[in-house]
C-alpha cells in the first residue's frame, strides 16, 4: 500500500479506548471518487455516541469519526465533472446510497431503501470501511460532496453539513415562514442552528430551556423571548401558540404534556435529537384533539443540502463556533462531553 492510499487520523480502537493519531487506509480510488485534504471538521454528538458504542453494534472499530467535513479537493476520478483540484468542498453524515431505488430517484437519498452509507463506521459497496474527518484526508463518492459558497469560510461551512442540515431540512419541509411561531427546546449545538434558521425564514422564535444562562445567547441568536422550562407560569403564557416546536434537547422524563400543550392545533413537533431510549409518555388525547403531528428527521438529501448552503449564503446565517487545532482533538472531545461549546466545536488542520 503506497502512502498516497493512506491518511492519518484520530483512531478509536474500542469502547472506552483513547483516541490515537495513526495511519489508516483510504477507500479504493475509483472513477466516482473525490479526494479531499481536510481543512476542518465539526464535532457532533453522533461522534461521541459512536465512540462510546451508545448505539450498540453500529460502531465498527477501529473507527475515525467526524462527519462535518470541509477541505480542498486534491484529486478526482474520471467520472467527476463538477469538481476539480483546488475546489473548496464539504461532506456530511451520508457518503453513499444505491442511487437506483425509488427514494433515491425522487430526491430522498438520505432514506435510501437499500441502505445509508455512513461517512464513518460503515462500509463502501466494495467492503472498504468508511472513515471520517478527524483526519488529514478523506475520500468518497462525488454525489455526496458539495461546493462551499464563495462567501463562506471552510470553518464556518463545516457544521452546516450535519447540524445545519438536520435542522434546516424539517423547517423547510414543514414550510416555516413569516407569521409562524417556532419554539426551540434546547439551545445547544442543534438548537442554536434551529433558532438561526427559523429566524432567517421570518418566523417568531422562542427558546425553551432549563438553563437560564442561555437566555441572553438565545436573544442574540434571534429569539424574541425565552421560556424557563421549569416555570409553569412562563409555559402557560404560550399555551396553544406554537405552529412548530423543534426539540433539540430530549431527556429522560421528558414532559410531553407540558410541551404539546404549547402547540396550536395541527401543529408540528419536530424531533431532531437522537435519544438513546424510547419516546415514553406521549399523551394520545392531546394528539387527537389538537391534531398534532410528531415528526422525525434524518439529515437531508443532497438537493436539500445544496438549498441550505445557498440559503445560508444569501441570508448570512452563521453558526457560533469554538475552534481547536486538529492535534488537540482529544481535548476538544472532552470539552464537548463537558458541555463547554457555544455552540459547535470545529477542528482545524
pLDDT tens per residue across all 349 residues of the chain: 345 899 999 999 999 999 999 999 999 999 999 999 999 999 999 999 999 998 877 799 999 999 999 999 999 999 999 999 999 999 999 999 999 999 999 999 999 999 889 999 999 999 999 999 999 999 999 999 999 999 999 999 999 999 999 999 999 999 999 999 999 999 999 999 999 999 999 999 999 999 899 999 999 999 999 999 999 999 999 999 999 999 999 988 899 999 999 999 999 999 998 877 789 999 999 999 999 999 999 999 999 999 999 999 999 999 999 999 999 999 999 999 999 999 999 999 9
CA atoms lying within 13 Å on the CB side of residue 287: 9
CATH of domain 3-162+300-348: 3.90.180.10
- Cα–Cα distances (Å) from 151 to 63, 154, 171, in that order, read 33, 10, 23
Q: Which three cell numbers stand for residue 107?
A: 430526491
- Domain boundaries, given as residue ranges, for the chain: 3-162+300-348, 165-296
Which pLDDT score, from 0 to 100, does residue 158 have?
Answer: 98
- Residue 21 near residue 32, CB atoms below 8 Å: no
CA distance 196 to 216: 14
This prediction's pTM: 0.96
Q: What are phi and psi of 161, to 5 degrees?
A: -80, -10
Is the C-alpha dihedral spanning 113, 117, 123, 128 positive or negative?
A: positive
Architecture (CATH level 2) of domain 165-296: 3-Layer(aba) Sandwich (3.40)
CA distance 43 to 66: 6
Run of H or E residues at 333: helix 329-337
Q: What are phi and psi of 301, to 5 degrees?
A: -80, 165
Q: CB pairs under 8 A, 24+ apart, for 324-333?
A: 324/348, 326/10, 326/41, 326/134, 326/136, 327/21, 329/10, 329/19, 329/134, 330/10, 330/18, 330/19, 332/43, 333/19, 333/43, 333/47, 333/48, 333/51
- Partners of 182 in the beta sheet? 205, 244
CA distance 199 to 261: 23
CA proximity to 138, closest of 29, 41, 38: 38
CA distance 315 to 201: 9
Amino acid at each position: 500500500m503506497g502512502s498516497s492510499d493512506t491518511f492519518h487520523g484520530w483512531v478509536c480502537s474500542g469502547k472506552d479506548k483513547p483516541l490515537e493519531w495513526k495511519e489508516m487506509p483510504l477507500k479504493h480510488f475509483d472513477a466516482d471518487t473525490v479526494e479531499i485534504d481536510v481543512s476542518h471538521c465539526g464535532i457532533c454528538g453522533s461522534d461521541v455516541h459512536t465512540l462510546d458504542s451508545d448505539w450498540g453494534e453500529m460502531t465498527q472499530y477501529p473507527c475515525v469519526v467526524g462527519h462535518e467535513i470541509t477541505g480542498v479537493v486534491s484529486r478526482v476520478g474520471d467520472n467527476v465533472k463538477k469538481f476539480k483540484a483546488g475546489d473548496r468542498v464539504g461532506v456530511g453524515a451520508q457518503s453513499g446510497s444505491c442511487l437506483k431505488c425509488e427514494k433515491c430517484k425522487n430526491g430522498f437519498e438520505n432514506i435510501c431503501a437499500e441502505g445509508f452509507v455512513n461517512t464513518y463506521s460503515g462500509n463502501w459497496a466494495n467492503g472498504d470501511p468508511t472513515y471520517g474527518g478527524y483526519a488529514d484526508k478523506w475520500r468518497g463518492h462525488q454525489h455526496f460532496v458539495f461546493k462551499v459558497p464563495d462567501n463562506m469560510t471552510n470553518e464556518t461551512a463545516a457544521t452546516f453539513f450535519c447540524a445545519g442540515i438536520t435542522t434546516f431540512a424539517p423547517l423547510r419541509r414543514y414550510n416555516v415562514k413569516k407569521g409562524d411561531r417556532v419554539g426551540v427546546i434546547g439551545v445547544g449545538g442543534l438548537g442554536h442552528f434551529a433558532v438561526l434558521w427559523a429566524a432567517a425564514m421570518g418566523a417568531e422564535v422562542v427558546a425553551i430551556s432549563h438553563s437560564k444562562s442561555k437566555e441572553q445567547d438565545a436573544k442574540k441568536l434571534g429569539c424574541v423571548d425565552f421560556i424557563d422550562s421549569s416555570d409553569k407560569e412562563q409555559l402557560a403564557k404560550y399555551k396553544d401558540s406554537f405552529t412548530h416546536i423543534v426539540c433539540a434537547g430530549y431527556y429522560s422524563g421528558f414532559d410531553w404534556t407540558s410541551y404539546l400543550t404549547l402547540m396550536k392545533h395541527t401543529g408540528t413537533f419536530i424531533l431532531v435529537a437522537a435519544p438513546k431510549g424510547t419516546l415514553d409518555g406521549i399523551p394520545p388525547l392531546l394528539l387527537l384533539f389538537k391534531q398534532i403531528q410528531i415528526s422525525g428527521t434524518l439529515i437531508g438529501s443532497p438537493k436539500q443540502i445544496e438549498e441550505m448552503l445557498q440559503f445560508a449564503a444569501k441570508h448570512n446565517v452563521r453558526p457560533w463556533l469554538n475552534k481547536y487545532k486538529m492535534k488537540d482533538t482529544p481535548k476538544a472531545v472532552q470539552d464537548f462531553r463537558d458541555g463547554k461549546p457555544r455552540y459547535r466545536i470545529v477542528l482545524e488542520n
